[in-house]
Every structure is written in structure tokens, then in C-alpha cells.
A and B are shown apart, each in its own frame.
Chain A
Amino acid sequence: GAVVSQHPSRVICKSGTSVKIECRSLDFQATTMFWYRQFPKKSLMLMATSNEGSKATYEQGVEKDKFLINHASLTLSTLTVTSAHPEDSSFYICSAPGRKQETQYFGPGTRLLVL
């Protein structure tokens, strides 16, 4: 079946550095991918919609200059957390829709810890 991978699965960085998270669709193409953020013991919050070949669409309240999204190919979207701070520590999950519109495939998530 369709699989979405994320890399890295876990990252620890110092405050002020930038971190890039990759989301790949394996064996299928995704012109759209979604990035979610999950706080501890909280639900997933949609951050942005990544569009292949065009700018990402950000949800209200999400800083686009803070969370840079690049969807350079039909199988890869990246989320870069720029100048990370401890409050950016979270679990980031991406998803990609399958052929059937209602089907979403979720990545395993990336846990970011900013010291």
C-alpha cells in the first residue's frame, strides 16, 4: 500500500538553528501534502498545505517565514523550522492524499526538541 516516510524521526537541536524535515511519498505521487503539528497530549493542528510547484498555503496563525515549506517534486515536501526556539519543540506529522480523495496517508512523524 501507499506509504509516507519522514526523516528524521527525531531531532535535537540548539536554539537558533534551523531544522529541515523531509516528507516523502513512496510509490505514489502527491501534488499536495499536508503538515501538521501535535503538541503533547493534544490533537493535530493543520499548519499548511504544501503544493508541488507553487507556494504553500498556511493556516491562520502559522508564521510562513518561520516554517518554510518547499514542495520541489511530486514525492517530496520539506518543512524547515528556521531559527528554532524551545517553543517549537513538537511532533510534526505530514500526510499525502491517495488516489481516492478521501484517503490520506500519514507519515510516522518527526519529534523535534529544541534546547
Chain B
Amino acid sequence: AQSVTQLGSHVSVSEGALVLLRCNYSSSVPPYLFWYVQYPNQGLQLLLKYTSAATLVKGINGFEAEFKKSETSFHLTKPSAHMSDAAEYFCAVSDGSNNDMRFGAGTRLTVKP
């Protein structure tokens, strides 16, 4: 069985500051890992994904994440937060075979001016 744990249900940063959203995974097989963003009353938008290629994955809107097998982590970062980054972020894991995903509880990012 696979699962992800997102540390911190709410993260608040100042505009221009580093964004770090934490995700740890558990998987019995090599995982596929994803970060999604959800704006209020909208569906999910894929930010980036790890599928066993490069461990440092770059996504849209300046976000990136690094797969660290030794730490079973896939933390999401962005060097400089923008007001438009305020949203809910979900980490997810899949084994790639049957395509169903398991989501973390989500982290709400607030960006202060």
C-alpha cells in the first residue's frame, strides 16, 4: 500500500520568501510522486511529477521538488513566493501500474504581502 504524509496543514510565508512544503511517502514499489495545486472551488492542476528519471524535478510556476529515496521525501520548493501562489497543495503517490493515486492531507499556503 502507498501513502503520503504532508507535514504542516498550513504554511505561511512572506512574499519573496522561500516556499518549502514537505511530503514524505511510503511505498513498497518504486513510486511515482506528484504535486498538485488547487485554487478555491477548482479542480487539481499538476505542478510537477517524478517518474524515476531525474531526482530534481522542475515544474510550472517556478516550483521544483527533489526525490530523496534515503529520506523517502519529495518536498516542494520555490525560491521566491508570489501572492498568486496562495492555494492548497497536495502531494500524491502512485505505483504507476493501475493509475490510482493516494493523496496527502494537503497544505494550505498563505502568502503575506
Q: What is the total number of residues of chain B having a CB less than 8 Å from a CB of chain A?
A: 25
For the complex, would chain A's binding face be called helix, strand, loop or mixed by DSSP majority? strand
A14 to B108, CA, bound (A): 32
A41 surroundings in chain B (CB, below 8 A): 106, 108
Count A-B contacts at CB 8 Å.
55
**Max chain B CB contacts within 10 Å: which of A46, A106, A109?**
A106
Q: Is the CB of A43 within 8 A of B49?
A: no
B100: interface (CB < 8 Å) = yes
Q: What is the total number of residues of chain A having a CB less than 8 Å from a CB of chain B?
A: 23
Q: How far is the CB of A68 from chain B (nearest CB, A)?
A: 19
A95 surroundings in chain B (CB, below 8 A): 101
Interface residues of A (CB under 8 A from B): 6, 32, 34, 36, 41-46, 49, 93, 95, 97, 101-104, 106-109, 111
